[in-house]
């Protein structure tokens, strides 16, 4: 895939899909800025990339803080001169999965802050730079829960529907500016979020796999492959799209 020497920021890159995506970009010879709220996790992923002979640097950032997001972009451009690709992956789930009437304000506020407002801050800041330099590419990590209902998961579902909407709206606005914006919508993928969901009840693993036609969970590397493809020069005529990777669950 054509991403060689592209300057890439991946948020939430310390683990899961973010880590897999950072490493996959590096495998294809991109230059990766590994960003995460937990700097020690980001350092670990960057170290793995460097040990494989690729280029990576760490810039810690909390995506719920606009000043930290702006510093992330500023520091990247100061070091590398530009920002070619922004992958907005940082995301969390609620502490308690429960029905809407019982949903806690803490879970609503925290999930919306990271998953929705955080993506907005990152898009806003990255787009300013991309317009200035004459082009760029953004890939947002949404979810199957951004396309269909997700039981007892209101804030997560709302935030991911928002990411899909923001992706489409911004893609329309910046299509004439040589900036493409797309999203991926993973289904049940092996990650910390899935582990939390599986812990809700003993038969959850069986219940989830029963609705997945492929009868397995996705791998972070499989999602990363789609992200890098969308961000590459192989997909120059694709913008405003949501690519669903769910083993057929949405069918």
Question: Residues 141, 87: contact at Cβ < 8 Å?
Answer: yes
- Judge residue 116's burial from the number of C-beta atoms within 10 Å of its C-beta, 0-12 exposed, 13-18 middle, 19 or more buried: buried
Q: Is 156 a catalytic residue?
A: yes
Q: Which of 121, 156, 188, 217 is catalytic?
A: 156
Query: 72: helix, coil or strand?
Result: helix
List of residues 6+ apart from 226 with CB closer than 8 A? 184, 243, 245
Residue 180: CB atoms within 10 A of its CB come to 24
Question: Residues 12, 227: contact at Cβ < 8 Å?
Answer: no
Residue with tokens 């910046």: 174
Query: 120: helix, coil or strand?
Result: helix
Give the separation between CA 68 and CA 138, rounded to whole angstroms. 19
Token pair in block for residue 122: 């990152």
Burial 214-246 (b: 16+ CB within 10 A, else e): eeebbebebbbbbbbbbbbeebeeebbbbbbbb
Give the separation between CA 129 and CA 77, rounded to whole angstroms. 8
Residues catalogued as catalytic: 156
């Amino acid at each position: 895939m054509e991403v060689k020497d592209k300057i890439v920021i991946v948020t939430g890159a310390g683990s899961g899909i973010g880590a897999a995506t950072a490493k996959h970009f590096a495998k294809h010879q991109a230059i990766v800025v590994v960003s995460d709220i937990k700097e020690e996790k980001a350092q670990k992923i960057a170290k793995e990339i460097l040990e494989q002979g690729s280029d990576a640097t760490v810039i810690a950032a909390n995506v719920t803080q606009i000043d930290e997001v702006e510093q992330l972009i500023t520091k990247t451009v100061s070091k590398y001169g530009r920002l070619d690709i922004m992958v907005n992956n940082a995301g969390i789930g609620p502490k308690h999965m429960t029905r809407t009437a019982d949903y806690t304000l803490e879970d609503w506020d925290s999930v919306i802050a990271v998953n929705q407002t955080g993506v907005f801050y990152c898009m806003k800041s990255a787009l300013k730079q991309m317009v200035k330099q004459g082009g760029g590419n953004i890939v947002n990590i949404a979810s199957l829960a951004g396309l269909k209902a997700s039981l007892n998961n209101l804030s997560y579902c709302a935030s991911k529907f928002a990411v899909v909407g923001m992706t489409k709206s911004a893609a329309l606005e910046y299509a004439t500016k040589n900036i493409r914006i797309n999203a991926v919508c993973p289904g049940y993928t092996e990650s910390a979020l899935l582990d939390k969901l599986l812990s809700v009840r003993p038969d959850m693993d069986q219940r989830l796999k029963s609705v997945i036609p492929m009868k397995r969970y996705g791998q972070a590397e499989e999602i990363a492959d789609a992200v890098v493809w969308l961000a590459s020069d192989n997909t120059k005529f694709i913008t405003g799209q949501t690519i669903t990777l769910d083993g057929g669950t949405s069918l």
